Amino acid sequence: MPNGPATSGDHVRRLADGNQIPRLGLGVWQVPDGPGCENAVRWALELGYRHIDTAQAYGNEASVGRALRDSGVPREQVFLTTKFYPGRRDPQAEVEQSLRRLGVDQVDLYIVHWPQNGPTWAWPGLERARELGYARSIGISNFSASQLEQVIAIADSPPVINQVQFSPFEYRRRLLEECEGRGVALEAYSPLGTGRHLRNQTVAGIAQRASRTPAQVLLRWCLQRDTVVIPKSTHRERIEENAQIFDFSLSDEDLASLDQLDRTGGTAAARESKWW
Ligand SMILES: NC(=O)c1ccc[n+]([C@@H]2O[C@H](COP(=O)([O-])OP(=O)(O)OC[C@H]3O[C@@H](n4cnc5c(N)ncnc54)[C@H](OP(=O)(O)O)[C@@H]3O)[C@@H](O)[C@H]2O)c1
């Protein structure tokens, strides 16, 4: 697959702990456990994706693991993320359950899903999971710049990723700068606005001029803003389309027009409203 994702060069990012993460992954939030999830993951792996993003809260780790095994792609070639559900108390015990459901010995990335009950209490458990070899890298999600700062202050092994809602419409510029300044890669979730941003006129106009699709424009913007990006789709043709983002560039002018769509004021916050 010449234009799709791969595992070298521009397609990967080195994390502060030395591990590498593919810059494109498949997200599986809101994909029920079962054939739909297995198909999406299997298609993505067939199409060259080497990065899957799931979570304990998604309830579909078993399907992700089944599709991974059935794909025949060697385990060490696939970057697998799961997230600690912070309604529970013990990140180590919970990752042991994740590994059992996923049918793997180790995940590549284990992250605190959101900072419920404060940003720091779960971190020692994440570090333990890493020390025990259950996770190669550890990180956080939905943490603002100041919450990241608090984790770094107590960490023996600091987070290497902050996964946050990020797109031209949620261009959290100060959060991105703070993360980069601390050696933390920003991973962009909901890069298509869970589908909502695809209908925007500015995005559509740029897509038309570039002979690309709105999804490709939004995902390419994330790459050019130096983030890792994890679009979700359960349709094979869209999974394929979303991977065709390494063979074109947006001009500085197009990037600037997309930047203007930001509704967060370039915030250092991770969310405008919380669900926890
Ligand atoms: N850490 C967190 O708290 C958190 C929160 C939200 C999301 N995430 C992660 O980020 C991933 C992506 O975010 P998201 O699920 O909110 O949504 P998203 O990737 O922004 O958008 C997905 C939506 O767009 C549609 N879509 C995808 N590709 C398309 C294309 N090429 N053309 C037209 N429509 C397309 C999908 O429909 P179909 O599936 O029907 O194709 C789906 O409705 C999640 O799956 C999850 O892994 C993490």
Residue having the nearest C-alpha atom to atom 37 of ligand 1: 233
Amino acid 71 reads: S
Mutate to test the pocket of ligand 1, among 79, 116, 189, 236 (most ligand atoms within 8 A of CB): 189
Angle at Cα 248 formed by Cα 246 and Cα 250, nearest 5°? 115
Tokens for 261, please give them. 């769509």
Query: H or E stretch including 81?
Result: strand 79-84
Whose CA is closest to 243, among 252, 251, 235, 255?
Answer: 235
Q: Determine the distance separating the centroid of ligand 1 and the alpha carbon of 58, expressed in angstroms.
A: 13
Residues 86, 112 contacting (CB under 8 angstroms): yes
pTM: 0.97
Mutate to test the pocket of ligand 1, among 169, 190, 276 (most ligand atoms within 8 A of CB): 190
Q: Determine the distance separating the centroid of ligand 1 and the alpha carbon of 217, expressed in angstroms.
A: 15
The arithmetic mean of pLDDT across residues 170-186, rounded, is 98
Measured CA to CA, the distance from residue 271 to residue 258 in angstroms comes to 20
Active-site residue, 110 included = no
Q: What is the pLDDT of residues 85-139, one digit of tens each?
A: 999 999 999 999 999 999 999 999 999 999 999 999 999 999 999 999 999 999 9
The domain ranges of the chain are: 9-198+227-239
CATH classification code of 9-198+227-239: 3.20.20.100
Q: Determine the distance separating the centroid of ligand 1 and the alpha carbon of 25, expressed in angstroms.
A: 11
Question: pLDDT grade, residue 8 (50/70/90)?
Answer: low
